[in-house]
């Protein structure tokens, strides 16, 4: 699909895929949260992300035209046609893994949306203006958890440190520029992702420091590929579960 | 199509309740942005509250159903994103109804609401009115609420968080 869509559509799909895949991942916590409040919180964040994905997919479907709908984009594309960052497809693991993944993503998402509220494209501006406020709550929630786990017990610190270190190279993919990023930036649709890096690093460092966790590894190399449709094995498993009903009953209506 | 006026439609809509906060009508909530009466149909513009709020689809179909009961043959419900809905759109009447229902209404925190890592706002207990409360979880029973606890009367309560 990358070959057949214009850059703007690819960019919108990339934004949508991040929200959908992470929303789907987080939904796996529903009924399994460590305590009721966290179960509810993570399910709410999942809902916000899936709602956001719908807004982007509806827009992408309009840009593509024809028979394309938000559902066909979510349920009938193959793994290679998804442009989400690798970090969002990483497994939920334990609560520390989920919160590390979430903390890196939310902090990036906040700065990305902040920029999108000034997009040349009215629709992206509208979607981002709404999502930014919700994301502020997500970012606060995940940062608080990093602090609580890092500055918590010996065991919680050890485990969250491992998760934070493990996810860091994946997070660096946020700042890798693809052709659609470049085009989107040239058309003033979205940010130059490289320029978001300093702000992101500063915020991440601030939280890690409060959490008494180790500083980031400045020698880390980005794990990348997701934005070009090259995913981990995990991605196929996520899609298999998420798309199975729609693919078994392709014309089913609610 | 039966004769309908904007007043009669608005009057009907004041009886269409938010399924998750059943004391608030769609008018109190401030989601109805425009009603247009055309020759063959009625168009209603609705602003979504939370992006992923599962109640929005129910609200749209309840609005459609209520207007059809007035004898209108076709109703078109459109979603509009601009200006975005915020908690400032909840009417004063709506805020009073929330409080009576036991949900602390949103407290405007001004520009602070877009800052990363702000502290939770101080909210008075809707039951005993004490200011000695604490935030248990930013995310409550629905997307739009946070869970608080009153340290004076020891009761938990919902706070309709500011958006």
pLDDT the model gives residue A1 = 55
Domain assignment present for A2: no
pLDDT the model gives residue B1 = 65
As for how many domains chain A has, the answer is 1
DSSP 8-state code for residue B117: T
Where does the pLDDT of residue B121 fall: very low under 50, low under 70, confident under 90, or very high at 90 and above?
confident
Higher pLDDT, B52 or B35: B35
Q: Using alpha carbons only, what angle is made at residue A176 by residues A172 and A177, rounded to the nearest 5 degrees?
A: 160
Contact A238, A86 (CB under 8 A): no
3-state secondary structure of B32: strand
Inspect the interface and report whether the beta carbons of A141 and B138 lie closer than 8 Å.
yes
Contact B67, B44 (CB under 8 A): yes
Nearest to B50 among A23, A122, A134 (CB): A134
A16 CA to centre of own chain = 9
CATH of the domain at A160: 1.20.1260.10
Considering only CB atoms, which chain A residues are within 8 Å of B139? 37, 40-42, 44-45, 137, 141
Inspect the interface and report whether the beta carbons of B48 and A141 lie closer than 8 Å.
no
Cα–Cα distance, B79 to B113 (Å, whole number): 24
Buried b (16+ CB within 10 A) or exposed e, A15-52: bbbbbbbbbbbbbebeeebeeeebbbbbbbbbbbbbbb
Domain assignment present for A68: yes
Integer-rounded Cα radius of gyration of chain A: 18
Cβ contacts of A126 within 8 Å, gap of 6 or more: B81, B82, B84
Cβ contacts of A209 within 8 Å, gap of 6 or more: A215
pLDDT at residue B111 tops 50: no
Where does the pLDDT of residue B9 fall: very low under 50, low under 70, confident under 90, or very high at 90 and above?
very high
pLDDT the model gives residue B112 = 47
pLDDT the model gives residue B133 = 94
Structure tokens at B110: 């001004």
Q: Does domain B6-85 have CATH number 3.40.30.10?
A: no
B87, closest residue in chain A (CA to CA):
A133
The whole-number average pLDDT for the span B61-85 is 92
Higher pLDDT, A114 or B120: A114
A21 CA to centre of own chain = 7
Domain assignment present for A253: no
Full 3-state SS string of chain A = CCCCCCHHHHHHHHHHHHHHHHHHHHHCCCCCCCCHHHHHHHHHHHHHHHHHHHHHHHHHHHHHCCCCCHHHHHHCCCHHHCCCCHHHHCCCCCHHHHHHHHHHHHHHHHHHHHHHCCCCCHHHHHHHHHHHHHHHHHHHHHHHHHHHHHCCCHHHHHHHHHHHHHHHHHHHHHHCCCHHHHHHHHCCCCCCHHHHHHHHHHHHHHHHHHCCCCCCCCCCCCCCCHHHCCCCHHHHHHHHHHHHHHHHCCCCCC
pLDDT the model gives residue A87 = 98
Q: What pairs with residue B42 in β-bridges?
A: B37, B75
pLDDT at residue B113 tops 60: no
pLDDT the model gives residue A5 = 81
Where does the pLDDT of residue B82 fall: very low under 50, low under 70, confident under 90, or very high at 90 and above?
confident
pLDDT the model gives residue B117 = 64
Shortest distance, CA A3 to any CA of chain B (angstroms): 30
Higher pLDDT, B33 or B119: B33
Q: Using alpha carbons only, what angle is made at residue A89 by residues A86 and A94, rounded to the nearest 5 degrees?
A: 120
Inspect the interface and report whether the beta carbons of B51 and A137 lie closer than 8 Å.
no
Shortest distance, CA A133 to any CA of chain B (angstroms): 6
Where does the pLDDT of residue B64 fall: very low under 50, low under 70, confident under 90, or very high at 90 and above?
very high
Domain assignment present for A254: no
B162, closest residue in chain A (CA to CA):
A133
Q: Residue A67 sits in which domain range?
A: 7-248
Considering only CB atoms, which chain B residues are within 8 Å of A140? 116-118, 138
Q: Domain limits of chain B?
A: 6-85, 103-160
Contact A83, A1 (CB under 8 A): no
Which bin fits B148, alpha (ψ -120 to 50), beta or left (φ > 0)? Answer: beta
Domain assignment present for A129: yes
Structure tokens at A184: 């989107």
Where does the pLDDT of residue B55 fall: very low under 50, low under 70, confident under 90, or very high at 90 and above?
confident
- Consecutive sets of 10 residues in chain A, 254 residues long: mean pLDDT of each? 79 98 97 91 95 96 95 96 98 97 98 97 95 93 95 97 98 97 95 96 97 94 96 96 94 77
Considering only CB atoms, which chain B residues are within 8 Å of A137? 138-139, 161
3-state secondary structure of B104: strand
The whole-number average pLDDT for the span B130-148 is 88
Average pLDDT score, chain B: 88
Considering only CB atoms, which chain A residues are within 8 Å of B45? none
Contact B111, B139 (CB under 8 A): no
Contact B68, B76 (CB under 8 A): no
Considering only CB atoms, which chain A residues are within 8 Å of B143? 44, 47-48
The whole-number average pLDDT for the span B110-117 is 54
Structure tokens at B120: 């939770």
Buried b (16+ CB within 10 A) or exposed e, B105-125: bbeeeeeebbebeeebbebbb
Sheet containing B156-160, strands listed edge to edge, beginning at the edge strand earlier in sequence: B103-104, B156-160, B145-150, B133-137
């Amino acid at each position: 699909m990358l070959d057949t869509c214009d850059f703007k559509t690819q960019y919108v799909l990339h934004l949508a895929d991040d929200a959908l895949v992470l929303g789907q991942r987080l939904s796996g916590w529903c009924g399994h949260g460590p305590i009721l409040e966290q179960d509810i919180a993570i399910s709410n964040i999942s809902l916000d992300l899936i709602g956001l994905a719908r807004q982007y997919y509806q827009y992408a479907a309009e840009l593509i035209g024809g028979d394309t709908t938000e559902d066909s984009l979510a349920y009938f594309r193959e793994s290679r046609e998804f442009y989400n960052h690798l970090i969002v497809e990483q497994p939920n693991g334990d609560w520390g893994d989920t919160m590390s993944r979430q903390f890196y993503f939310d902090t990036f998402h906040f700065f990305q949306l902040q920029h999108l509220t000034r997009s040349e494209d009215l629709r992206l501006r509208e979607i981002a203006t709404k999502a930014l406020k919700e994301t502020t709550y997500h970012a606060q929630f995940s940062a608080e958890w990093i602090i609580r786990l890092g500055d918590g017990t010996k065991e919680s610190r050890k485990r969250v440190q491992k998760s934070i270190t493990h996810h860091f190279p994946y997070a660096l993919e946020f700042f890798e520029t693809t052709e659609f990023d470049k085009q989107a930036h040239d058309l003033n649709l979205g940010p130059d992702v490289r320029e978001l890096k300093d702000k992101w690093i500063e915020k991440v460092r601030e939280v890690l420091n409060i959490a008494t966790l180790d500083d980031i590894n400045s020698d880390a190399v980005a794990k990348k590929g997701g934005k070009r449709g090259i995913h981990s094995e995990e991605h196929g498993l996520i899609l298999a579960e998420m798309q199975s009903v729609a693919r078994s009953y392709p014309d089913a209506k609610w | 199509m039966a004769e309908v006026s904007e007043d009669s439609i608005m009057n009907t809509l004041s009886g269409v309740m938010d399924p998750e906060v059943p004391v608030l009508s769609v008018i109190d909530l401030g989601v109805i942005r425009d009603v247009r009466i055309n020759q063959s149909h009625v168009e209603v513009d609705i602003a979504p509250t939370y992006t992923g709020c599962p109640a929005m689809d129910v609200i749209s179909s309840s609005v459609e159903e209520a207007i059809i009961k007035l004898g209108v043959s076709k109703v078109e419900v459109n979603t509009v994103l601009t200006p975005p809905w915020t908690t400032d759109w909840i009417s004063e009447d709506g805020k009073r109804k929330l409080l009576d229902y036991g949900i602390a209404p949103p407290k405007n925190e001004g520009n602070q609401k877009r800052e990363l890592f702000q502290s939770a706002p101080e909210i008075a207990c809707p039951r005993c009115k004490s200011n000695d409360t604490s935030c248990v979880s930013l995310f409550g029973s629905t997307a739009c609420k946070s869970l608080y606890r009153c340290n004076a009367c020891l009761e938990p309560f919902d706070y309709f968080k500011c958006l």
